[in-house]
Amino acid sequence: MMKHRAIDYVLLVVGLLVVWQICHELVGEYALTSPLATFAYAAKELGDAHFWNNAGASALALLYALIIAMVGGLAIGLALGLNRLAGDVADPMLITLFSVPKVTLYPVILLVFGLGLSAKVAFGALHGIFPVAIFTLNGIRKINPIYVKASRSLNLSRSRTIFTVLLPAALPEIVSGLRVGFAATILGTLIGEMFAATEGLGFMLIKAIDENNVELLMSLTLFLFLVAATANGILLAIDHRLHRRSAAAA
C-alpha cells in the first residue's frame, strides 16, 4: 500500500519534469527555463537572505490571514448552521461571495487598507473565510437529526451539545472546508502581495514578471507549489481518514 503511494509520487514528479522539459524545448530558454536551470537558480535563491525575508513576510501574512479565515469561517458557519432559517438565508449569499472574483477588488482593498501587511492579510482572509464558512454550515446542517434528538434526550446543555455532538459530527466536513480554505487563503495572500504589497513572495513574483526574470519566476512558482502541495497533502490525509471513519459509522 505505502509502497504503491511512493511509486505514484515518483511517477508524478518524473512525469511533471518530463512535461516541463518538453515545454522548455518547444518554447525556448527565454520563455521557460529548463527544470535543471530552475533548480540551480532556486538553490541559489534559497541561500539568499533577501528571499527568506520575503518568505518570512509572506508566512506572517499567511498566518494572520489563516487565523482570521479559519476562526471567522468556523464562527460564521456554526452560528448560521444552528438556525435553519439563518442557514437558508445565508447559504446562497455565501456561495455568491465565494464565487466573486476577488482579484478585481484589489483597488478597493488598497484604498481601504493602504499598501502593506493589512492589505495582504485582508486579501488572504477574504479568499479563505467563505469556503470554511460554507463547508461548516453544510456540515452542521447535514448532521443526522437523530444525534440532536439523542443529545436532547440526554439533557445536554446547548454549549455541550455544540462541543460534544455537533462539532464532532460535522468534523469531516469542517476539515474539508479548512483544506479548501487553506488553499484559497494561500492564493489570496499571494494575489494580495502581487497587487497590494511591497514585500513577500507575491511581490517578488510581480517584480519578476515586470523585469521579465523567467528564472526567478519559475523558481518561486516551484517553491510555492511544493509548499502548498505538501501542506495540502497532509490536510488531505487527515480529511480522508476522518471521512472514512464517519462513513464506517454510518
Partner 1 sequence: MSKAGWIRLVIVIAFFGALEIMCRIGWIDRLTMIPPTEMAEALWSMLLAGSITEDVLYSLRNTVAAVALSVLAGFVCGVIVHALPRLRRILDPLFASYYAVPVFVFYPLLVVIFGINATPLILIGAMFGIVAMLISTLTGLDRVPRVMFKSARMFQLDPLRSALLIKLPSAAPHLITGVKLAVVYSVIAVVAGEFILSSKGIGHRIAYAYNDFDSRTMYGLLLLLLTAVTVVTMSLHMWEHRLHSRWAKQ
Exposure class string for 105-139: b at 16+ Cβ within 10 A, else e: bbeebbeebeeebbbbbbbbbbbbbbbbbbbbbbb
Interface of this chain with partner 1, residues 194 to 223, rule: CB under 8 A: 194-195, 202, 205-206, 209, 212, 214, 217, 220-221
Q: Which of 45, 191, 200, 219 binds partner 1 (CB under 8 A)?
A: 191
Q: How far is the CB of 169 from partner 1 (least distance, A)?
A: 21
Under rule CB under 8 A, residue 2 binds partner 1: no
Q: Which of 22, 67, 93, 234 binds partner 1 (CB under 8 A)?
A: 93
- List, as own/partner pairs, every contact residues 37-45 make where C-beta atoms lie below 8 angstroms and the sequence separation is at least 24, other chains included: 37/215, 38/215, 38/218, 38/219, 38/222, 39/222, 41/215, 41/216, 41/218, 41/219, 42/219, 42/222, 42/223, 45/216, 45/219, 45/220, 45/223
Size of the site for partner 1 (CB under 8 A): 55
DSSP state of 83: S
Interface of this chain with partner 1, residues 97 to 116, rule: CB under 8 A: 99-101, 103-108, 110-112
DSSP state of 157: -
Asked if 176 contacts 135 with a C-beta cutoff of 8 angstroms, the reply is: yes
In whole angstroms, give the CA distance from residue 8 to residue 222: 20
Q: What track of x and - describes contact with partner 1 for positions 119 through 158 (by CB under 8 A)?
A: ----------------------------------------
Q: Which of 183, 215, 238, 243 binds partner 1 (CB under 8 A)?
A: 183
In whole angstroms, give the CA distance from residue 65 to residue 154: 39
Which residue, 16 or 46, has its beta carbon nearer to partner 1? 16
- Give residues in contact with partner 1 (CB under 8 A): 8-9, 11-12, 15-16, 27, 30-32, 85, 88-89, 92-93, 95-96, 99-101, 103-108, 110-112, 182-184, 186-187, 190-191, 194-195, 202, 205-206, 209, 212, 214, 217, 220-221, 224-225, 228-229, 231-233, 236
